[in-house]
Amino acid sequence: MSSSQPTKEGGEIRQLRSQIDDLSTTLSAIRNGDVDALVRDEAGVLQLYSRTTADRPYRLIVEQMGEGAATLSPEGRILFANRQLAELLLRDQRGLVGRSIQELVTAEHPQNLQSLLAVNTGHSLSLPLELLSSAGLAVPVLASISGLELSGEVVLCLTTADLSRILKAEQALVESELSFRMLALNAQDGILILNWESGKITLANPYLCQLLGLEPTDLIGRPIWEIGAFDDQQRAHELFIELKDKGMVRYDDMPLKCANGELKEVEFVSNVYLSGQERVIQCNIRDISDRKAAERIAQLRQADVQQGLEDIVAALVVLSEARDPYTAGHQSRVADLAAAIGRELGLDDDQLRGLHISAQVHDIGKLTIPSQILTKPTKLKPQEMDLIRTHVQEGYDVLATIHFPWPVAKAVLQHHERLDGSGYPRGLQGEAIGLWGRILAVADTVEAMSTDRPYRFSLGIDAALETIEAGQGSLFDPAVVEVCLRLFREQRYEIRQHDP
């Protein structure tokens, strides 16, 4: 036997004893419940069976919480880090264990980390820190540390709330508020912001203050109906209540009284909206005083123009009827009847005015016809009839040069047209003849037949009505004829004699 044999055998024995000791301690630890998990070989696959301990729910919370969390030794060495902290730092979770927290913090808050690591058992502290991600980016966090005793040792529990999103949101909010404030300050319309509950003004932009001749201090903090701009405070208060009920009100023409007593006409639009969790009311006020004044001037000018036109028309009528006493008053009577027909057909006041004027001048072209032909008591020769018929075009040519706000010249041109094309001067048919021309055709025919002419006596109103009735739909517009017949037969319309 060699001298090394006992040494080799002794070494093997010692190794076996060590293995037995290790197995014994392992078995003892398992029996005593000193292990967290057992490893079991199932068909060649190692399975880990964890013990469900009382702290399992808390471990789940740590793993699933939204904030980063870690446990540290008092010296700042990371004993454990959850997935969220690893993701915040863009680092591998396994690689964080054993690292010093000082390596993962920037120099932004040097004293804060030292203060946090000095927290004693049973105490807590929260301070801002800047963590350093693997990409070299600074991650602002609010770090909270609590000191715990764990098996006789102090363990620091760290949680980190990511401040970068909060800071971004705060920055965005600041920018949004600044943007709104600039908008309100520079707007060329009045803006008021009211407290939804009390109706008190919380913001009045410079434009509105200038418009009303008031200082901001005259407005801020006061209920809107008390600022003196509304003549009827009670009504203004009622409008505020209506606004709260409906969420929006709009007034296209509202009078506001300025500090100097001047009245401003404004467009007032108000609506309710949410600012965060709070309801506020915004009032947009546009000064339309100048526009309203311009509109009034335009209306007056239009009225003047129309009156001027009517005066011209009246003068033309007098002039034309002076040459032909048999038709004196004819145009005026036709105008009355045409307007009555038009009213029954639903024409509005402005259209009736234009129709009346058209009828008053529908025979103005007869000024160009020699009076001896107009007043000839016997039957006219064909060439004389042709000359008479020219009065339509002549009348149109004159009236087309006057800028009427209605189609007067067109109505005069068409008053002798007939639906079947047998009329003149152009032989228009059906819808090609405008409504006013069709109304004048009926009114002119009825009036002419029911009054005396140089060459005949009146044929009577009944004959006139029968004539248009016979031509209803073929010569004359059926609706116009129906209305005319109803006027005379049911409503007892009478053709009033006008003084020549």
Partner 1 sequence: MIPPTDPTGEAPDPQLVVLTLYVNGTSTRSAAALITLHRLCQEELAGKVQLTVVDIRNDPAALSEDQILAVPTLLKRLPLPPRQIVGDLANKERVLQALDLAP
Sites of contact with partner 1 (CB under 8 A): 14-15, 18, 21-22, 25-26, 28-30, 32, 34-39, 46, 48, 50, 53, 55, 59, 62-63, 71, 73, 77, 79-80, 82, 93-94, 97-98, 150-153, 155
Smallest gap, in angstroms, from Cβ of residue 174 to partner 1? 39
Give the nearer residue to partner 1 in terms of CB position, either 62 or 283. 62
427: left (phi over 0), alpha (psi -120 to 50) or beta: left
- Quote the tokens at residue 209: 């203050």
CA dist., res. 164 & res. 488, Å (int) = 88
Smallest gap, in angstroms, from Cβ of residue 269 to partner 1? 60
Q: How many residues does the chain have?
A: 500
Smallest gap, in angstroms, from Cβ of residue 154 to partner 1? 9
CA dist., res. 209 & res. 211, Å (int) = 5
Smallest gap, in angstroms, from Cβ of residue 114 to partner 1? 19
Smallest gap, in angstroms, from Cβ of residue 7 to partner 1? 15
Give the nearer residue to partner 1 in terms of CB position, either 113 or 157. 157
Judge whether 333 and 496 are in contact, CB under 8 Å.
Answer: yes
Helices (H), 104-262: 110-117, 163-186, 206-212, 216-219, 233-246
Smallest gap, in angstroms, from Cβ of residue 51 to partner 1? 9
Give the nearer residue to partner 1 in terms of CB position, either 94 or 492. 94
Residue 249's H or E segment, with its range, is strand 248-257
Judge whether 453 and 462 are in contact, CB under 8 Å.
Answer: no
- How does strand 201-204 pair with strand 263-275? unpaired
Smallest gap, in angstroms, from Cβ of residue 151 to partner 1? 4
Give the nearer residue to partner 1 in terms of CB position, either 73 or 375. 73
Give the nearer residue to partner 1 in terms of CB position, either 127 or 155. 155
Q: Which one, of 423, 414, 428, lies nearest residue 355 by Cα?
A: 414
Identity of the residue numbered 364: I
Sheet holding 78-81, edge to edge: 78-81, 68-72, 153-162, 138-150, 124-132
- How does strand 263-275 pair with strand 278-287? antiparallel
Helix, strand, or coil (residue 59): helix
Smallest gap, in angstroms, from Cβ of residue 274 to partner 1? 43
Residue 383's H or E segment, with its range, is helix 382-399
CA dist., res. 415 & res. 424, Å (int) = 9
Smallest gap, in angstroms, from Cβ of residue 40 to partner 1? 9
Sign (positive/negative) of CA torsion 389, 390, 395, 401?
positive
Smallest gap, in angstroms, from Cβ of residue 199 to partner 1? 57
Q: Which one, of 362, 360, 383, lies nearest residue 373 by Cα?
A: 383
Helix, strand, or coil (residue 160): strand
Q: Which one, of 369, 363, 319, 320, lies nearest residue 338 by Cα?
A: 363
